[in-house]
Amino acid sequence: MKGIDLTGRVAVITGGARGIGRATAESLRDAGAKVAIGDIDTVHAEHTGKKLGIYGGYLDVTDPYTVAGFHGTVEERLGPVEIWINNAGIMPVGPILDQDDAIIARAVQINLLGVINGSRVAARAMAARGHGRIVNIASVAGRVPAPGMAVYNGTKFGIVGFGEALDAELAARGVRVSTVFPSFAATELIDGLQSTRGMEPVPPQEIAAAVVSVLRRGHRSAVVPAQLGLTTAAWIHLPRPVARWLSHRTGMDQVFLTADDRRRSYDSRIHKGPAT
């Protein structure tokens, strides 16, 4: 796919009030795009918007009507939306048999259905105009499964499959889809977790830079950090005993099963409302 010049293009970022979304908004703004962020946390969305000098407003990605309304508002204020970044997500961790039904449903609704809702609304307008770019923020968890991450893994694997199928379906109509695979991002998502060998926390600014690069260069995907690209792509093809051995050697077999008290605040927030 061809890269695009970001100057003057209207870009929307879901879950843009914090973390990766906020960093991406700042990077796209600095690259010359006209940026809008949406977030279920209206106060933080508006605050971040004012801080960055961009539009920030309420967006619940689980509700297609709200998504359509936000998209319409952005087009009225800034012009045709040419870039849509599906970033909103939550990361519940812990033994799958201990997780409650509500947080499992919420993770699926935000992480996967939210991407589908956003993509459908944005792609309808993009396809009608004959051009547009959608970037899905997945995770290396969309390639590498881990104990304690079954629900999160499931939603991120789903995002990867959905994005590939969407690109195949809409490429002929000028709408292209890319995927960014962050590793252990240095945001609230990893509060209370211990990083493992090869999983040092990645600053959200690095992930934001990858989004900008994917758009400018027309890349299908990007892994952050890049050195994990081949390993994560190959993981699903490893024999299970080998994968389990590597998981144990790196500590990945335990890191998402246990969390300390620092995670309580994040867990409480994702149960009640705002995504990150």
Cα 95 off chain centre by:
23
Percent over 70 (pLDDT), the chain? 96
Helix (H, G, I), strand (E, B) or coil at 47: helix
pLDDT over 80 (residue 3): yes
Q: What is the predicted pLDDT for the residue at 256?
A: 87
pLDDT of residue 184: 80
CA angle 55, 60, 65 (to 5 degrees): 100
Mean pLDDT (the chain, rounded): 93
Q: What is the mean pLDDT of residues 138-157?
A: 95
pLDDT above 80 (res 190): no
In this prediction, residues 11-29 reach a mean pLDDT of 97
pLDDT at residue 179 tops 90: yes
The pLDDT confidence band at residue 264, using thresholds 50, 70 and 90, is confident
pLDDT more than 90, % of the chain: 80
CA-CA distance, 241 to 160, in Å (whole number)?
25
Write down the residue that tokens 């061809």 correspond to: 2
> 18 and 44 in contact (C-beta within 8 Å)?
yes
Residue 206 has pLDDT above 90, yes or no: yes
pLDDT tens sequence across 60-103: 999 999 999 999 999 999 999 999 999 999 989 999 999 999 99
How far is residue 147's CA from residue 130's CA, in Å, rounded to a whole number?
43
Residue 275 vs residue 48, higher pLDDT: 48
Query: How confident is the model over 149-166, as a mean pLDDT?
Result: 97
pLDDT for 117-135, tens place per residue?
999 999 999 999 999 999 9
Q: Which residues does the annotation mark as catalytic?
A: 152
Contact present, 126 and 132 (Cβ < 8 Å): yes
* Residue 197 pLDDT greater than 70, yes or no: no
- pLDDT surpassing 80 at residue 195: no
Tell me the chain's radius of gyration from C-alpha atoms: 18
Q: How far is CA 260 from the centre of its chain?
A: 25
Secondary structure (3-state) at 123: helix
pLDDT band of residue 273 (cuts 50, 70, 90) is low
Type and span of the H or E element at 163: helix 150-170
pLDDT at 186: 67
Checking if the pLDDT of 55 tops 70, the result is: yes
Is residue 276 pLDDT above 60, yes or no? Answer: no
Give kind and range of the element (H or E) at residue 33. none
Residues 6+ away with beta carbon under 8 Å from 21? 13, 14, 15, 37, 39, 85, 87, 88, 276
pLDDT mean over 144-161 = 96
- For the whole model, what pTM was predicted? 0.93
Is pLDDT of 198 > 80?
no
pLDDT confidence of residue 251: 86
